[in-house]
Structure 1
């Protein structure tokens, strides 16, 4: 495995599978990520407007590069149905050489 600093996982959630699929397709169409996993039936507890809320959501796990994070964030903000979408970028500490090569070939060059 390679130790990395230029590959990231971006996490966000969506209110439905349809919304998550729409976001995923737009991200992939623009080559801002190599892969988007949708994890349905995530139960989220959070504070919103002074109250504790609970909703079932779909978690999106988006694999991308550091160079594309800003553009990816802008796209998600522009199409996301939430007023304040979750946007959390986590650096990937290590990944297999073949997966990294595939990821880098699958996204657009900056």
Structure 2
């Protein structure tokens, strides 16, 4: 069991935005890795209106210590008024991967 690896999930309005934001977070050492997924169709209600939009999800890997700073920075960089920024702690990770990941983010 580990409590030191964490995941942050968010969706973006374009693949380019997802890559740009992830690159900033990587360069700032707030995350160690970003996985980008194929576009998804998101359906939701916002400000009293139903929406159906194509969005571009990204999974960002970081340490539990960097979750707060990474989420705060992600919120600033994100173009959405109310972005989905979700976090969860990883219960278990390969020890070698965990060591690498923790070495990539700020202490």
Is the pair's TM-score, using the shorter chain for normalization, greater than 0.5? yes
The alpha carbon displacement at 1:77 in A equals 1.2
Q: Corresponding residue for 1:50?
A: 48
Q: Give unpaired runs (5+ residues) of structure 2.
A: none
Q: Corresponding residue for 2:14?
A: 16
Superposition TM-score, scaled by structure 2 size: 0.95
As a proportion of its length, which structure holds more strand? 1
SS at match of 1:101: helix
SS at match of 1:40: coil
- CA–CA distance in 2 between the matches of 1:39 and 1:103? 20
Are 1:95 and 2:93 counterparts?
yes
Q: Give unpaired runs (5+ residues) of structure 1.
A: none
Q: Corresponding residue for 1:69?
A: 67
Superposition TM-score, scaled by structure 1 size: 0.93
**Where do 4+ consecutive residues of structure 1 move more than 2 Å?**
none
SS at match of 1:47: strand
- CA–CA distance in 2 between the matches of 1:22 and 1:60? 11
